[in-house]
Amino acid sequence: MILVWLIALPLLVGILAWIAERRGVGLSRWVALAGLFVEFAIVLRLWADHPIRMLTPGRATWLVELKLAWIPQLGISFHLALDGLSLLLVALAVFLAIAGVLCSWTEIQERVGFFHFILLATVTGIIGIFLAVDLILFFVFWEAMLVPMYIMIATWGHEHRRYAALKFFLFTQAGGLLMLAAILGLYFVHGRATGTYTFDYGQLMAASIPAGTAMWLMLGFFAAFAVKLPAAPFHTWLPDAHTEAPTAGSVILAGLLLKTGGYGLIRFLFPLFPGAASAFAPIAMTLAVIGIFYGAILAFAQTDLKRLVAYSSISHMGFVLLGVFVWNELALQGAVVQMLCHGISTGALFIIVGQLQERIRTRQLPRMRGFWETAPRMGAMALIFALASLGLPGLGNFVGEFLVLFGTYTASPGMAIAAAIGIVLATVYSLWMIYRVFFGPRKDAVKFDDLDPRESILLVVMGAVILWVGLFPQRALDTAGPTLRALERHVAGSTARMAGKPDTTETSLSRWMGIVLPSGRDRDR
Amino acid sequence: MTFIELYALLPLICLAATPVAALAAIAVSRDHAVVTLVTLIGLGLSFFGLCAVRPLVPMQITPLVVMDGYTLFFVGLILITTAAVALLSYQYLERREGHPEEYYPLLLFAALGACVVAASNHFASFFVGLETLGVSLYALIAYQRAAPRGIEAGIKYLILAATADAILLFGMALIYAKSGSLEFSETATSLAGDYSGLEMAGLALLVSGIAFKLSLVPFHMWTPDVYEGAPAPITGFISTVSKGAVFALLLRYFGEVPAQDFSSVAFCFSAIALASMLAGNLLALLQDNVKRMLAYSSIAHLGYLLVAFLAQRELAVTAVAYYFVAYFLSILGAFGVVGILSGSEGEAEDIKDYQGLIWRRPWIGAVFVTMLLSLAGIPLTAGFVGKFYVLWAGVDSSLWMLVLVLIGTSVIGLFYYLRLIAAMFGSPEAPREELRGRRAGFEAAAAVLGVLTILVIWLGVYPSPLIELIRRSAALSGF
Mean pLDDT of A200-213: 85
Closest residue on chain B to A143 (Cα):
B379
Q: Quote the CA–CA distance of A464 and B190 in Å, as a whole number.
A: 81
Mean pLDDT of A129-136: 93
Task: Tell me if B223 sits within 8 A of B280, measured CB to CB.
Answer: no
In DSSP terms, which residues pair with B469 in a beta bridge? none
Q: Peptide bond before B58: cis, by omega within 30 degrees of 0?
A: yes
Q: What's the one-letter identity of residue A147?
A: V
Closest residue on chain B to A189 (Cα):
B396
A426 inside domain: yes
The verdict on A55 touching B (C-beta cutoff 8 Å) is: no
pLDDT digits (tens, 9 = 90+) for B1-34: 788 889 999 999 999 999 999 999 999 998 999 9
pLDDT at A53 over 70: no
Contacts A170 to B, Cβ<8 Å: 411, 414-415, 418
Spell out a b/e string for B31-67, using b for 16 or more CB atoms within 10 Å of the CB, else e: ebeebbebbbebbebbbebbeebeeebbbbbebbbbb
Average pLDDT across chain A, whole number:
86
Query: Using N-to-C axis directions, what is the helix angle for B290-309 and B243-256, rounded to 10°?
Result: 10
pLDDT digits (tens, 9 = 90+) for B325-346: 999 999 999 999 999 888 777 7
Contacts B395 to A, Cβ<8 Å: 181, 184-185, 188
Q: What's the one-letter identity of residue B196?
A: S
Mean pLDDT of A499-505: 43
Could you list the residue range(s) of the whole structural domain that residue B124 is in? 3-476
The confidence band for A500, taking pLDDT boundaries of 50, 70 and 90, is very low
Q: Quote the CA–CA distance of B231 and B93 in Å, as a whole number.
A: 9
Q: Quote the CA–CA distance of B59 and B66 in Å, as a whole number.
A: 6
pLDDT at A512 over 60: no
Greatest extent of chain B over all pairs of C-alpha atoms, in Å: 67
Mean pLDDT of A267-287: 90
Lowest-pLDDT choice from A122-136, A444-458, B331-345: A444-458
ipTM: 0.89
Find the CB nearest B425 among A72, A144, A151: A151
pLDDT at A12 over 90: yes
DSSP at B354: G
Could you list the residue range(s) of the whole structural domain that residue A256 is in? 2-55+62-518
Find the CB nearest A169 among B418, B462, B471: B418
Q: Quote the CA–CA distance of B268 and B204 in Å, as a whole number.
A: 9
Q: How far is CA B443 from CA A439, B87, B127, B432, B440, in A?
A: 64, 10, 38, 24, 8
Sign of the CA dihedral A296, A300, A303, A306?
positive
pLDDT digits (tens, 9 = 90+) for A345-382: 999 999 999 988 888 888 888 888 888 888 888 889 99
Predicted local confidence at residue B82, as pLDDT: 96
Interface of A with B in 73-112 (CB under 8 A): 73-74, 111
Task: Tell me if B241 sits within 8 A of B114, measured CB to CB.
Answer: yes
Q: What are phi and psi of B384, to 5 degrees?
A: -65, -50
Predicted local confidence at residue A233, as pLDDT: 86
The confidence band for A525, taking pLDDT boundaries of 50, 70 and 90, is very low
Predicted local confidence at residue A445, as pLDDT: 65
Residue/partner pairs of B179-183 with CB below 8 Å, 24 or more apart: B182/B122, B182/B123, B182/B124, B183/B63, B183/B121, B183/B122, B183/B123
Cα B442 from chain centroid? 24
Find the CB nearest A72 among B380, B425, B464: B464
Closest residue on chain B to A190 (Cα):
B396
Predicted local confidence at residue A327, as pLDDT: 87
Closest residue on chain B to A154 (Cα):
B422
Q: Quote the CA–CA distance of A280 and A222 in Å, as a whole number.
A: 10
Closest residue on chain A to B407 (Cα):
A177
Which regions of chain B are under pLDDT 70? 191-195, 257-262, 429-439, 478-479
Sign of the CA dihedral B379, B383, B386, B392?
negative
Predicted local confidence at residue B193, as pLDDT: 61
pLDDT at A132 over 90: yes
Predicted local confidence at residue B258, as pLDDT: 65
Nearest to A47 by CA among A16, A109, A100, A91: A91
A525 inside domain: no
pLDDT digits (tens, 9 = 90+) for B395-419: 888 888 999 999 999 999 998 999 8
Q: Peptide bond before A271: cis, by omega within 30 degrees of 0?
A: no
Transcribe A267-295 into DSSP letters.
IIIHHHSHHHHHHHHHHHHHHHHHHHHHH
The total number of structural domains in chain B stands at 1
Instruction: Tell me how many residue pairs between chain A and chain B have CB atoms under 8 A apart.
Output: 72
pLDDT at A93 over 90: yes
DSSP at B122: B
Task: Tell me if A408 sits within 8 A of A323, measured CB to CB.
Answer: yes
The total number of structural domains in chain A stands at 1
- Give the number of other CB atoms < 10 A from CB of residue A452: 12
The verdict on A147 touching B (C-beta cutoff 8 Å) is: yes
Find the CB nearest B407 among A162, A169, A181: A181
Q: What angle do CA B310, B315, B319 make, to 5 degrees?
A: 85
**Over pLDDT 90: what percentage of chain A?**
41
Minimum distance, in Å, between the CA of residue B479 and any CA atom of chain A: 18
Nearest to B130 by CA among B412, A311, B138: B138
Predicted local confidence at residue A499, as pLDDT: 42
Cα B239 from chain centroid? 4
Predicted local confidence at residue B436, as pLDDT: 55
Interface of B with A in 354-383 (CB under 8 A): 359, 373, 378-380
Q: What are phi and psi of A64, to 5 degrees?
A: -135, 145
Contacts B426 to A, Cβ<8 Å: 162
Instruction: Report the length, in residues, of chain A.
Output: 525
Task: Tell me if B439 sits within 8 A of B91, measured CB to CB.
Answer: yes
pLDDT digits (tens, 9 = 90+) for A310-333: 999 999 999 999 999 988 888 999
Transcribe A220-241 into DSSP letters.
HHHHHHHHHTT-GGG-THHHHH
Give first-to-last CA distance, chain A, whole Å.
33
- Give the number of other CB atoms < 10 A from CB of residue B446: 18
Q: Quote the CA–CA distance of B21 and B16 in Å, as a whole number.
A: 9
Picking from B380, B424, B468 by the largest number of A CB atoms within 10 A of its own CB, the best residue to mutate is: B380
Helices H / strands E in chain A, number of each: 23, 2
Q: Quote the CA–CA distance of A439 and B442 in Å, as a whole number.
A: 64
Q: What angle do CA B457, B463, B464 make, to 5 degrees?
A: 155
Find the CB nearest B467 among A73, A136, A139: A73
pLDDT digits (tens, 9 = 90+) for B109-154: 999 999 999 999 899 999 999 999 999 999 999 998 888 888 999 9
Q: Quote the CA–CA distance of B304 and B403 in Å, as a whole number.
A: 9
Find the CB nearest A184 among B384, B395, B425: B395
A180·B391 Cβ contact <8 A:
yes
Sign of the CA dihedral B412, B414, B420, B422?
negative
Q: 3-class DSSP state for residue A66?
A: strand
Task: Tell me if B137 sits within 8 A of B160, measured CB to CB.
Answer: no
Spell out a b/e string for A206-229, using b for 16 or more CB atoms within 10 Å of the CB, else e: ebebeeeebbebbbbbbbbbbbbb
The verdict on A8 touching B (C-beta cutoff 8 Å) is: no
B384·A140 Cβ contact <8 A:
yes
Predicted local confidence at residue A498, as pLDDT: 40
The confidence band for A492, taking pLDDT boundaries of 50, 70 and 90, is confident
The confidence band for A60, taking pLDDT boundaries of 50, 70 and 90, is low
Q: Quote the CA–CA distance of B424 and B444 in Å, as a whole number.
A: 24
H, E, C per residue of A317-356:
HHHHHHHHHHCCHHHHHHHHHHHHHHHHHHHHHHHHHHHH
The verdict on B386 touching A (C-beta cutoff 8 Å) is: no
Q: Quote the CA–CA distance of A470 and A475 in Å, as a whole number.
A: 11
Q: Quote the CA–CA distance of A201 and A196 in Å, as a whole number.
A: 13
Instruction: Report the length, in residues, of chain B.
Output: 479
Transcribe A484-503 into DSSP letters.
HHHHHHHHHHH-GGGTTSSH
Task: Tell me if B169 sits within 8 A of B123, measured CB to CB.
Answer: no
The verdict on B307 touching A (C-beta cutoff 8 Å) is: no
Nearest to B40 by CA among B364, B338, B448: B448
Q: Quote the CA–CA distance of B433 and B444 in Å, as a whole number.
A: 22
**pTM beyond 0.95:** no
